[in-house]
Structure 1
Amino acid sequence: MKVAVASFEFEGNSLSLRVARREDFERLGIFSGAAMLEMAAGKQLALTGGLDVLTTESVSIEPIVLARCVSGGHVEDSFFEDMKARITDGVAAAMPLDGVYLALHGAMICGTEKDPEGVIISAVRRTLNDPDIPIAVSLDLHAHVTPRMARDAQIIVGYETYPHVDAYQTGAKAAGFLLRALRGDIRPVTRIRKYNAIVPVLGGATLGDEPMAQVAAIARTAEAEGRALSASYFPVQPWLDMADVGITGLAVTDGDPDAADAVAQDVLDAIWDRRREFELPAMTPQEAVTAAVAAEGRTLIVDAPDSMGAGAQGDSPALLAALLDVAPDTAAAVYIVDPAAAQKAQEIGEGQTAEFLIGASQDDRWFKPLSVRATVHRLGDGKFTYKGGPASGATTSTGLTAVLKVGGVRIVAGSFPFYEHMDEHYAANGIDIADCKIVSFKNLMNYRKLLGPGVQYIALHGPGGAPLRLQDVDWTHRLRPFWPADDMATPAPAPDCSD
Structure 2
Amino acid sequence: MKILIARMNHETNTFSPVATPLAAFGRNGPAFGADAYNENKGMQTAMSAFIDAAERTGAQLVTPVSASANPSGPVAAAAYDTICNAIVDAARGCDAVMLDLHGAMVAENSNDGEGDLLERVRAALPNAPIAVALDLHGNVTQKMIDNADIMVSFKTYPHVDMRECGAHAARLLFDLIDGRARPVIAWSQPPLLTHTLRSASAAGAMKRAVEAAQAAEREGMLAVSILAGFSLADIPAPRISVVVVGDGNREAAAQVAERIARQIWDDREGFFYRSPSLADSVAEGAVLARGADKPVLLLDHGDNCMSGGACDTMDVYEEAVRQGLTGIVTGPLCDPEAVTVLLAAGVGATVTLEVGNKLSRRAAKPRPPVRLTGVIRALTDGEYVISGPTYTRQRAYMGRAAVLDVGVAKIVLTERTHEPWDLGVFESVGIDPRRATFLILKSRMYCRPVFVPIAHGLVECDSRGVTSSDFGLFEFRNVQRPVYPLDADATW
Q: TM-score, normalised by structure 1?
A: 0.93
* 2:356 pairs with 1:353: no
Q: Which amino acid aligns with 2:488?
A: D
What's the offset of the Cα at 1:267? Answer: 2.5
Give ranges in structure 2 of 5+ residues lacking alignment. none
Cα pair 1:401 1:413 within 8 Å, conserved: yes
Q: CA separation in 2, counterparts of 1:235 and 1:331? A: 34
Cα pair 2:47 2:166 within 8 Å, conserved: yes
Counterpart residue number, 1:240: 233
What SS does structure 2 have at the residue aligned with 1:233? strand
Q: CA separation in 1, counterparts of 2:229 and 2:110? A: 18
The CA RMSD over aligned residues, in Å, is 1.8
Counterpart residue number, 2:459: 458
What's the offset of the Cα at 1:10? Answer: 0.9
Cα pair 1:43 1:391 within 8 Å, conserved: yes
What's the offset of the Cα at 1:462? Answer: 4.2
Counterpart residue number, 2:299: 302
Q: Structure 1 stretch 229-238 or stretch 241-250: which is displaced more?
A: 241-250
Q: CA separation in 2, counterparts of 1:73 and 1:267? A: 32
Q: Which amino acid aligns with 1:421?
A: W
What SS does structure 1 have at the residue aligned with 2:152? strand
Q: CA separation in 2, counterparts of 1:146 and 1:229? A: 20
Q: CA separation in 2, counterparts of 1:28 and 1:268? A: 40
What SS does structure 1 have at the residue aligned with 2:320? helix
Counterpart residue number, 2:109: 112
Cα pair 1:281 1:459 within 8 Å, conserved: no
Cα pair 1:198 1:484 within 8 Å, conserved: yes
Q: Which amino acid aligns with 1:141?
A: L
Q: CA separation in 2, counterparts of 1:106 and 1:54? A: 23
Counterpart residue number, 1:220: 214
Cα pair 2:305 2:418 within 8 Å, conserved: yes
Summarize deviations over 1:196-252 as a string: whole Å, max 9, x none. 211111121111x432111111001001011x1100001101101112221111100
What SS does structure 1 have at the residue aligned with 2:322? helix
What's the offset of the Cα at 1:331? Answer: 3.7
Q: CA separation in 1, counterparts of 2:227 and 2:357? A: 32
Match of 1:273 among 266, 270, 273: 266
* 2:72 pairs with 1:72: yes
What SS does structure 2 have at the residue aligned with 1:50? helix
Counterpart residue number, 2:478: 477
Summarize deviations over 1:406-453 as a string: whole Å, max 9, x none. 123111111100233133201111121211111122221123223258
What's the offset of the Cα at 1:469? Answer: 1.8
Counterpart residue number, 1:287: 280
Counterpart residue number, 1:496: none
Q: Which amino acid aligns with 1:203?
A: R
What SS does structure 1 have at the residue aligned with 2:44? coil
Counterpart residue number, 1:488: 489
What's the offset of the Cα at 1:474? Answer: 2.1
Q: CA separation in 2, counterparts of 1:480 and 1:150? A: 22
* 2:204 pairs with 1:210: yes
Cα pair 2:332 2:417 within 8 Å, conserved: no
Counterpart residue number, 1:175: 170
Q: CA separation in 2, counterparts of 1:406 and 1:17? A: 28
Counterpart residue number, 1:494: none
Q: CA separation in 1, counterparts of 2:262 and 2:439? A: 37
**Equivalenced residues, count:** 484
Shift in alpha-carbon separation, 1:423–1:267, aligned structure 2, 3 A: farther
What SS does structure 1 have at the residue aligned with 2:52? helix
Q: Structure 1 stretch 308-317 or stretch 389-398: which is displaced more?
A: 389-398
Counterpart residue number, 1:48: 48
What SS does structure 2 have at the residue aligned with 1:219? helix
Counterpart residue number, 1:447: 447
What SS does structure 2 have at the residue aligned with 1:458? strand
* 2:333 pairs with 1:336: yes
Cα pair 2:326 2:437 within 8 Å, conserved: no
Match of 1:141 among 136, 142, 146: 136
What SS does structure 2 have at the residue aligned with 1:459? strand
Q: Which amino acid aligns with 1:57?
A: T
Cα pair 1:28 1:68 within 8 Å, conserved: no
What SS does structure 1 have at the residue aligned with 2:262? helix
Give ranges in structure 1 of 5+ residues lacking alignment. 492-499
What's the offset of the Cα at 1:266? Answer: 2.2
Q: Which amino acid aligns with 1:204?
A: S
Match of 2:316 among 315, 319, 324: 319
What's the offset of the Cα at 1:59? Answer: 2.3
* 2:6 pairs with 1:9: no
Summarize deviations over 1:347-395 as a string: whole Å, max 9, x none. 1122222221111221213332111122212211111111114421011
* 2:248 pairs with 1:251: no
Cα pair 1:233 1:248 within 8 Å, conserved: yes
Q: Which amino acid aligns with 2:149?
A: Q
Q: Structure 1 stretch 21-30 or stretch 38-47: which is displaced more?
A: 21-30
Q: Which amino acid aligns with 1:251?
A: V
What's the offset of the Cα at 1:13? Answer: 0.4
Cα pair 1:400 1:414 within 8 Å, conserved: yes
What SS does structure 1 have at the residue aligned with 2:196? coil
Q: TM-score, normalised by structure 2?
A: 0.94
Q: Which amino acid aligns with 2:261?
A: L
What's the offset of the Cα at 1:333? Answer: 2.8
Q: CA separation in 1, counterparts of 2:39 and 2:408? A: 40
Match of 1:152 among 130, 147, 152: 147
Q: CA separation in 2, counterparts of 1:321 and 1:28? A: 33
Counterpart residue number, 1:495: none
Q: Which amino acid aligns with 2:480?
A: L
Cα pair 1:219 1:267 within 8 Å, conserved: yes
What's the offset of the Cα at 1:159? Answer: 0.3
Counterpart residue number, 1:437: 437
Q: CA separation in 2, counterparts of 1:293 and 1:390? A: 29
What SS does structure 2 have at the residue aligned with 1:125? helix
What's the offset of the Cα at 1:28? Answer: 5.8
Q: CA separation in 2, counterparts of 1:452 and 1:467? A: 25
Summarize deviations over 1:174-210 as a string: whole Å, max 9, x none. 1111001111111211122112211111121111x43
